[in-house]
């Protein structure tokens, strides 16, 4: 039967870990539709064929079987550039009801760069690239969750344009678009686990309003109350 042929072919796949050691495919099982659809969208070159979860010990790999040929999907962490399984990529959503998207970074990489993002956001407020980006960032208010146009890209080209402005020189400036939630696949539990989306150094919810008001007071002093209040009350 076809399922047995797929399993036999997938078990012969040569998959290596970070250290170049060959991993043995211990078990093969059909991937559920939700995860299959997400991986197909993230890796369009695998839009056809049957998708399977491959038990390779500590890590779950994703295999595709099509027309008698088996292959494994390999992803690249955009931060460390390491070759990893798609199941090791953090997933993110911009809205409470999703959709969930595949990020471009692994959990260890995310934890390492979590420290750098809040100072980056503060710089967009205190030392903006241009007036257009300053207006957008100021209108959004305090951002405490992670953002990154490379690690957490917009789901569509249309959405991408909503979070960009051009400065006076025509250079595209990315407006910080914070994620709503993050999660990672837990192989041993067979379910997703939440990942903290909060940026290191950003105020917690109870202190957020006071923190933002203090920043606005400082901006009124450095840039003038008239400009700041005009931006805050404008409709754009």
Q: Which residue is associated with the tokens 């420290």? A: 115
Query: How far is Cα 110 from Cα 147, in angstroms, rounded to an integer?
Result: 11
Residues with Cβ < 8 Å from 202, sequence gap 6 or more?
118, 121, 143, 144, 145
Structure-derived torsion over alpha carbons of residues 137, 141, 146, 149, reported in degrees to the nearest 10: -20
Reported as a single tens digit per residue, the pLDDT across 30-73 is 999 999 999 999 999 999 999 999 999 999 999 999 988 999 99
Query: How far is Cα 126 from Cα 153, in angstroms, rounded to an integer?
Result: 24
Query: Percent of the chain scored above 90 by pLDDT?
Result: 83
* Residue 195 contacts residue 90 (beta carbons within 8 Å): yes
**pLDDT tier at 236 (50, 70, 90 boundaries)?**
low
pLDDT number for residue 26: 94
* Residue 111 contacts residue 79 (beta carbons within 8 Å): no
Q: Is 222 exposed, middle or buried (0-12, 13-18, 19+ CB in 10 A)?
A: exposed
Reported as a single tens digit per residue, the pLDDT across 75-128 is 999 988 989 999 999 999 999 998 999 999 999 999 988 989 999 999 999 999
């Amino acid at each position: 039967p076809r399922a047995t042929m797929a399993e036999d072919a997938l078990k012969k796949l040569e998959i290596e870990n970070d250290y170049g050691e060959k991993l043995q495919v211990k078990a093969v099982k059909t991937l559920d539709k939700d995860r299959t659809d997400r991986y197909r969208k993230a890796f369009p070159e695998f839009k056809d064929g049957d998708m399977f979860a491959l038990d390779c010990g500590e890590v779950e790999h994703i295999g595709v079987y099509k027309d008698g040929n088996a292959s494994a999907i390999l992803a690249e962490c955009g931060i460390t550039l390491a070759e990893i399984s798609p199941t090791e990529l953090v997933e993110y959503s911009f809205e409470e009801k999703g959709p969930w998207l595949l990020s471009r970074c692994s959990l260890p990489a995310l934890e390492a760069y979590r420290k750098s993002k809040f100072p980056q956001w503060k710089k967009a407020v205190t030392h903006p690239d241009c007036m257009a980006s300053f207006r957008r960032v100021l209108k959004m208010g305090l951002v405490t969750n992670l953002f990154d146009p490379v690690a957490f890209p917009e789901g569509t080209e249309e959405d991408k344009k909503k979070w960009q402005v051009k400065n006076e020189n025509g250079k595209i400036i990315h407006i910080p678009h914070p994620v709503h939630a993050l999660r990672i696949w837990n192989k041993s539990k067979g379910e997703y686990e939440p990942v903290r989306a909060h940026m290191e150094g950003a105020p917690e919810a109870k202190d957020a309003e006071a923190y933002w008001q203090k920043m606005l007071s400082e901006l009124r002093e450095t840039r003038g109350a008239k400009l700041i209040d005009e931006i805050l009350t404008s409709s754009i």
